[in-house]
Copies of this chain bind each other. A is one copy, B any other.
């Protein structure tokens, strides 16, 4: 097997707990807007459900590449309208920044500090550069660079999202490993020639999670968390 030189990480779900973070931001917003009856976790899920369809417009070429902050903002407005909630534009702008302020899972910071001594580490996320950089700065995530969809102008699982990232890093796809909690992301990465590491995030979707509870393919590495990955990679 080709030696891996760089690790890139899916972010939402793999590095950060987006569901708790978004619900945490929605809760006071709903109270302030007179709707404490609504469940912030259900609304977080509803907001997130619009994520893939919005990117699909860009992937399918029906819309030019549009950074995720813009898609999130549009999705927020539609999602709230569906629930009969209206708010001032400035309040929606502020709420949209909740995606910049998500917390990493407890193993992430230590695991990455160990992994980065041996490997180049960067996000390969559909999040835009500012979102990922603000998230890293707030939480102390020690990335070597901020990469992702905006840098390569392609949304995962488009093959270019993976191959152009390897090109930027001056390595072959086989020298690049995607770390992700999602079998679908890893399948697309493997099809593009990347090495693959699956990490279990059994709480990403809350207590009823039904997806990505197992490693569905023989990934190159399967790990419990980032510290376990560091151990497996002798970091």
Contact = CB atoms under 8 A, between A and B. Distances in A.
A147 B150 CA distance: 12
A170 interface: yes
B150 A129 contact: no
A122, A132, A133, A150 interface centre (most CB from chain B within 10 Å): A133
A137 to B, nearest CB: 5
Interface in A24-48: none
A120 interface: yes
Interface string A175-207: 000000000000000000000000000000000
A130 interface: yes
Interface residues of A, number: 20
Nearest to A171: B130
A99 to B, nearest CB: 12
A139 to B, nearest CB: 12
A145 interface: yes
A69 interface: yes
Interface string A190-231: 000000000000000000000000000000000000000000
A11 to B, nearest CB: 14
A115 interface: no
A145 B133 contact: yes
Contacts of A132: 145
Interface in A95-148: 116, 120, 122, 128-130, 132-133, 136-137, 144-147
A168 interface: yes
A136 B142 CA distance: 12
B129 A136 contact: no
6 contacts: A69-B170, A130-B145, A132-B145, A133-B145, A137-B144, A146-B146
Interface of A: 69, 116, 120, 122, 128-130, 132-133, 136-137, 144-147, 150-151, 168-170
